[in-house]
A and B are shown apart, each in its own frame.
Chain A
Amino acid sequence: MEATAEQLLWMYEKMVEIREYEETMAKVYLEAKLPPKIQKGLAFDIGAGPVPGEMHLAAGQEPVAVGVCAHLRRDDTVVGAHRPHHFAIAKDVDLNAMTAEMYGKATGLGRGKGGHMHLFDPAVKFSCSGIVGAGAPQACGAALAAKKLGTDAVAIAFFGEGAANQGAFHEALNLAALWKLPVVFVVEDNKYGISVEKSASTAIASNADRAAAYGMPGVLVEKNDAVAVFEAAGVAVARARRGEGPTLIEVKTDRYYGHFQGDPETYRPKGEAKELRQHDPIPTLGALLRSRDLLDDEADAALRARVSARVQAAYDFGRNSPYPEPQDALLHVFAE
Chain B
Amino acid sequence: MSTTTTTRRLTMAQAISEATAQEMARDPRVFVMGEDVGKYGGIFSATTGLLDQFGPERVMDTPISETGFMGAALGAAAEGLRPISELMFVDFFGVCFDQIYNHIAKNHYMSGGACKYPLVITTGIGGGYNDAAQHSQCLYSIFAHVPGLKVVVPSNAYDAKGLMTSAIRDDNPVVFLYHKGIMGLSWMSYFEGSTNEVPEEQYTIPFGQARVVREGSDVTIVTLSQMVQKSVLAAEKLAEEGISAEVLDLRTLVPLDRAAVLKSVKRTGRLLVADEDYLSYGLSGEIAALVAENIDTVRLKAPVRRLAVPDVPIPFSRPLENFAIPQVENIVASVRGLMTFKLDQ
Contacts and interface: CB of A to CB of B under 8 A. Distances in A.
Interface of B: 31, 57, 62-63, 65, 67-81, 83, 95, 98-99, 102-103, 107-116, 118, 147-148, 150, 171-172
Contacts of A141: 71-79, 83
Nearest to B64: A171
Given A137-B69, A174-B63, A145 B112 contact: no
B74 A138 contact: yes
Contact of B172 (A111, A167, A335): A335
A40 interface: no
Given A141-B75, A334-B108, 11 more contacts: A79-B75, A127-B78, A134-B103, A138-B72, A141-B76, A172-B68, A174-B65, A174-B68, A175-B62, A332-B111, A335-B116
A9 to B, nearest CB: 31
Interface stretch (A25-33, A81-89, A113-121): A113-121
7 contacts: A109-B112, A118-B111, A137-B99, A144-B81, A145-B76, A145-B81, A335-B172
B112 to A, nearest CB: 3
Given A77-B75, A110-B110, A335-B171, A168 B68 contact: yes
A237 to B, nearest CB: 17
A253 interface: no
Contact of B147 (A79, A110, A333): A333
Interface string A315-336: 0000000000000000111110
Interface residues of A, number: 44
B77 A122 contact: no
A144 B99 CA distance: 17
A144 B69 CA distance: 11
Interface in A124-144: 125, 127, 129, 131, 134, 136-144
Contacts of B109: 113, 332-333
Contacts of B116: 335
A178 interface: yes
Interface centre among B65, B108, B114 (most CB of A within 10 A): B114
Contacts of A79: 75
Nearest to B104: A138
B227 to A, nearest CB: 27
Contacts of B103: 129, 131, 134, 138
Nearest to B148: A333
Nearest to B78: A142
Nearest to A140: B72
Nearest to B95: A167
A162 interface: no
Contacts of B31: 148
A146 interface: yes
Nearest to B81: A145
A175 B107 CA distance: 22
B67 A171 contact: yes
Contact of A145 (B67, B75, B111): B75
Contacts of B99: 134, 137-138, 168
Contacts, number: 151
A111 B112 CA distance: 5
Interface centre among B71, B95, B116 (most CB of A within 10 A): B71
A155 interface: yes
A279 B189 CA distance: 70
Contacts of B98: 131, 134, 168
Contacts of A77: 75, 78-79
A299 interface: no
B68 A148 contact: no
Which 9 residue pairs spanning A and B have beta carbons closest together? A141-B75, A137-B71, A111-B112, A171-B68, A145-B79, A120-B111, A141-B72, A171-B65, A110-B112
Contacts of A139: 75
A142 B171 CA distance: 17
A174 B148 CA distance: 29
B102 A134 contact: yes
B79 A127 contact: no
Contact of A149 (B79, B112, B113): B79
Nearest to B85: A141
Interface string A78-109: 01000000000000000000000000000011
Contacts of B73: 141
A140 B78 CA distance: 12
A112 interface: yes
B79 A108 contact: no
Interface in A155-184: 155, 167-168, 171-172, 174-175, 178
A168 B71 CA distance: 9
Interface in A178-230: 178
A120 B107 contact: yes
Nearest to B77: A141
Contact of A120 (B62, B115, B148, B172): B115
Contacts of B74: 137-138, 141
Contacts of B71: 134, 136-138, 140-141, 168, 171-172
A112 B63 CA distance: 37
